[in-house]
Structure 1
Amino acid sequence: MARPPTVFRRSANLLLDHIASAVAIGDALPTEQQMAALCDGSRTAIRSALAYFHERGLIGGLKERRLLRKPAPDDYFDDAELQSGSDRVREVLMERIYHSDLPPGAEFTEAELARAAGVSTISVREFMIEFSRYGLIEKKPHGGWRLCAFDRSFAMEVADVRQMFELAAIERFATLPAGDPAFATLEQLIARHEKLGSVMPARHKDFPALDRDFHTFLIGLLHNRFAQGFYDIVSLVFHYHYQWDKGEEMARNQYAVHEHLDILRALARRDIAAALEGMRIHLNSARSTLLQSIRTRERAAQAA
């Protein structure tokens, strides 16, 4: 059976959330137009979701669309099923970099990455060609790719743009109304940071994934596709080059957890000035350690 389109799966999950919280058993679902607005999707995706609900016994018919029962956990699609091919490739590539499976200068093939991501080599090739325009990877013969180094000026340009986006994200947070879903995510991030901080330094290698979630949350507040796409570059530049300097990794990660918590707690109490100052401190720390990792890489290259 063919895998259903990503946009349908996302729409279905969003509608299930709405049904669970806002539709009583026996009531009719909203109009297709209203549901499309709720999901920020097309009517085609909504109709596919309705057909899925009818098949699952959630609604009594495709015309009246009256709710027969509340959604159950197995009505939802798994998070992994909500990713497009390029999203999955990006996730696997980043995870392999974070866990040192792809150290600096490593080479890999499209087929290898496709197997790891569970996608076609076409999806991998399309993603890599798009990503290669930043100069961080280069094409090799026979479907191969190589992770590249970059110079100090490139790193500083990335750091400058990162600061612009992330400070703007904190200012955007200040405009959110009470009860916005971002506050629930904020509390979850605080709890996750406190939990990881309590087991540091033994679990310091768990930090990169949490770091990505922290910054992705902030960038997501901007609702800006260019900012979101740019964070892929930020993530690769910073975490990839840290692989050159493993000596300070434990202390660096431990310190960053506390910097994150300062920012998150300031946001939770709506102290935007403190959050902005905390972010400036954090970004300056990241810039400093990135420069140190580049110097480490350059010394290693000279000694080789």
Structure 2
Amino acid sequence: MAKPPIIFKRNTNILLDHIAATVAVGDALPAEQRMAEVTRGSRTAVRASLAYLQERGLIAGLDDRRLLRKPRPADYFDEAELQSGAQRIQEVLMERIYRNDLPPGADFTETELARAAGASTISVREFLIGFSRFGLIEKKPQGGWRLCAFDRTFATELEQVRRMFELAAVEQLVALPAGHPAFDRLDALIARHEQVKAGLPQTSEAFPALDREMHTFLIGLLDNRFAMGLNDLVSLVFHYHYQWDKGDEVPRNERALDEHLALLRALARRDRKGALTAMGRHLDSARSTMLDSVARRANGVGR
């Protein structure tokens, strides 16, 4: 049997979040059109997700759509299953940079990266050519690729552009009309942040994926391809750099969770001033933490 497509899995996870946040056990699920708006998909795609919910025992059938139980973690598709080929290549590259501590100037080949990512060399080449525009890697004249330096200047420039897009995303969200599906996503994100925070320190490892999800959601509201491209880079650079520096991971994640919750709650209240202040505080904190991590790495301090 063919594997379900990535879009189906992603849409189903979004629908599960919506159900968890807004539908009580025994109540009927929203109309198909409403669920299509929430997932940003078609009614046909919604029906596919409903069939999955029936299979998992969340609803009795496609006609009887009353919720039999709340979604559980096992109902969700794993984050790794939602990755495209390019995302897997990104993950493997950054794993090699930070988990293996490859120094600036280290060489690598398309073949070894393709083997590690389970991708074709053509896919790897296309990704590396596109990714090289950010200045983290460069093509060697004699073949192969080289890792460039990641320094304070790069981190500062990246944060400056990130700030511009993230603040614009806050402005975009608070201007949305009441009842927009984005506010359902906000409720679900708040609930999941509270769950992760309540489980610390055991749940600390869940934070990077949750952080990527929140920022991707906000940036996605801009519907701007350049913003999304930058968001991919920010997520990779910030979180994989943090993985190298594990010294204060739990308190760092707890602080970021508090900052996220302050932002999300202000957005849910449509409090423009409060949301902009909370986002600014979070970006200041992320910038400071990243620059400290860069300095520690340059001084050979870390794991």
Normalising by structure 1, we get a TM-score of 0.68
Shift in Å at residue 166 of structure 1?
0.5
Q: Distance in 1 between matches of 2:110 and 2:120?
A: 9
8 Å CA contact 1:137, 1:145 repeated in 2: yes
Shift in Å at residue 175 of structure 1?
1.6
8 Å CA contact 1:114, 1:124 repeated in 2: yes
Number of the residue aligned with 1:207: 207
Shift in Å at residue 269 of structure 1?
1.5
> Structure 2 counterpart of 1:275, which letter?
A
8 Å CA contact 2:99, 2:244 repeated in 1: no
Q: 1:232-271 deviations in whole A, cap 9, x for unaligned?
A: 2212332233345332222211111111111011111111
Number of the residue aligned with 1:27: none
1:21 matches 2:32: yes
Structure 1 pair 194–112 and aligned structure 2 pair: CA distance change class (3 A): farther
Number of the residue aligned with 1:86: 86
> Structure 1 counterpart of 2:51, which letter?
A
Shift in Å at residue 221 of structure 1?
0.9
Number of the residue aligned with 2:162: 162
Structure 1 pair 3–140 and aligned structure 2 pair: CA distance change class (3 A): farther
Q: 1:5-43 deviations in whole A, cap 9, x for unaligned?
A: x8xx859x98xx9xx8149xxxxxxxxxxxxxx869xxx
Moved more, 209-218 or 84-93: 84-93
Q: 1:42-78 deviations in whole A, cap 9, x for unaligned?
A: xxxxxxx9xxx9xxxxxxxxxxxxx9x9962299xx8
Number of the residue aligned with 1:132: 132
State the percentage of identical aligned residues: 58
> Structure 2 counterpart of 1:294, which letter?
V
8 Å CA contact 1:244, 1:294 repeated in 2: no
Number of the residue aligned with 1:72: 51
Q: Distance in 1 between matches of 2:272 and 2:169?
A: 11
Q: Provide the secondary structure at the position in 2 that maps to 1:189.
A: helix
Number of the residue aligned with 1:32: none
8 Å CA contact 1:104, 1:148 repeated in 2: no
Higher relative contact order (CA 8 A, sep 6+): 2
Q: Distance in 1 between matches of 2:172 and 2:200?
A: 31
> Structure 2 counterpart of 1:21, which letter?
E
Q: Distance in 2 between matches of 1:70 and 1:214?
A: 22
* TM-align CA RMSD: 4.0
Gaps of 5+ in 2: 16-30, 35-39, 55-76
Structure 1 pair 144–210 and aligned structure 2 pair: CA distance change class (3 A): farther
> Structure 1 counterpart of 2:32, which letter?
S
Shift in Å at residue 145 of structure 1?
4.4
Normalising by structure 2, we get a TM-score of 0.69
| Rg larger for | 1
Q: Distance in 1 between matches of 2:168 and 2:216?
A: 13
Moved more, 277-286 or 232-241: 232-241
Structure 1 pair 192–140 and aligned structure 2 pair: CA distance change class (3 A): farther
Shift in Å at residue 110 of structure 1?
2.9
Q: Distance in 2 between matches of 1:3 and 1:253?
A: 34
- Report matched runs for 1:38-187 at 5 Å: 72-73=51-52, 84-93=84-93, 96=95, 101-105=99-103, 109-139=109-139, 145-187=145-187
> Structure 2 counterpart of 1:103, which letter?
D
Gaps of 5+ in 1: 24-37, 41-48, 54-66
